[in-house]
Amino acid sequence: MSALFSSYQLGSLHLKNRIAIAPMCQYSALDGKASDWHLMHMGAMTLSGAGLFCIEAAAVLPEGRISPADLGLWSDDTEAALAKVINSVRKYSSMPIAIQLAHAGRKASTHVPWQGGKQCSAAEGGWQTLGPSALAHNPHDLPPVELDHAGMQRICQGFVDAALRAHRIGIDAIEIHAAHGYLLHQFLSPLSNQREDEYGGSLANRMRFPLQIMAALRAALPADKVIGIRVSATDWVDGGWDLEQCLVFAQALHSLNCSFIHVSSGGVSPLQNIPASAGYQVEFANRIRQHTGMPTIAVGLITEPAQAEAIIAEGQADMVALARAILYNPHWPWHAAAELGASVEVAPQYLRSQPLGYTNLLVANTSLPASKV
């Protein structure tokens, strides 16, 4: 029996297998509102056969967007637009859906990647960025404004409000974005946080704001709501955030009833030196899992079914997350099931696609309304 295709209980959520789809920015929203592109993209991802789909980073406030085209969840209009997409997808997929809530901090106000990704000027539709300290991410960027306590409280409330909106429209789980050099990671890393108040300096101080946001979401949402976090385990820069600090942070999150940790790395400094290779971040997830006992999701150049199978079978992580690999091959879980001798549930409209020679590779999801048509 395949470990990758075994079911998993993530808090209150029953997942049909251990494959998660990582949040991947689409840069296709209009004033934060989900578009028809999101309907097509999320439709493809939620028919992929994975166990869990996580919607891309949704900014909790307008200035928290990475680019002007980022998805948002800060207003009635952004909530209604995303609800429309969710409701359409739900007609044909029963896959649990999470959402990543984010604030880009000093890495906000940039062009979309295929237009270079550099910081936008005011004339190009950009805005003043914010951060824990007035330190620019790149030497050519305008520095952010250092957040005062009132600004931090506004952002914390933005996370709470966005989480409540997500819960209201039926999203099953929340992932707080504290990785990849965005605002909460900026508070954690001494490379970007040089504050002299209770939010800077010591590790306990640098962890304070992200932990306050986790605690605020826990207090605002039902006790059984799945609330996890995305972390960068290391900055890959000497003197920066590293795994040993991340283990302390993970233990503090565990005490706040964090449901899972999705483990990535890097993003806070252009000086990072990442030794990228197949599964290069898996050991970080393994160490955090061993240290805390919390459910962990491993991600990063996990592309082959046998590789993903081994990660789960050997207990290195509880789930694996796919990003670029599943954009390239949206039916990756189908092909993995074929290779590993497992089966995967699909919409009945796709049953006839099962290749000759296979039996019970593709199994109808009979819980869907479409199966009764």
Q: Give the pLDDT mean for 310-327.
A: 97
Residue 371 has pLDDT above 70, yes or no: no
**How many Å apart are CA 65 and CA 60, to the nearest integer?**
8
> Residue 159 has which token pair?
């996370």
Rg (alpha carbons) of the chain, rounded to whole number = 20
Among 182, 199, 328, 358, the one annotated catalytic = 182
Q: In this predicted structure, what is the pLDDT of residue 373?
A: 36
Specify the CATH number of the domain 8-342: 3.20.20.70
pLDDT above 70 as % of the chain: 98
Predicted TM-score (pTM) of this structure? 0.96
Residue 136 has pLDDT above 60, yes or no: yes
**Residue 14, Ramachandran bin (φ over 0: left; ψ between -120 and 50: alpha; else beta):** beta
The residues spanned by each domain of the chain are 8-342, 348-373
Instruction: For residue 154, give every residue at least 6 positions away whose Cβ sits within 8 Å of its Cβ, in sequence order, or none.
Output: 61
Burial class of residue 223 (count of CB atoms within 10 Å of its CB; 0-12, 13-18, 19+): exposed
Q: Respond yes or no: is residue 350 known to be catalytic.
A: no
Q: Give the pLDDT mean for 196-212.
A: 98
Residue 369 has pLDDT above 90, yes or no: no
pLDDT above 90 as % of the chain: 97
Which band of pLDDT confidence, cut at 50, 70 and 90, is reported for residue 366? confident
pLDDT for 57-70, tens place per residue?
A: 999 999 999 999 99
pLDDT for 334-363, tens place per residue?
A: 999 999 999 999 999 999 999 999 989 999
Residue 86 has pLDDT above 50, yes or no: yes
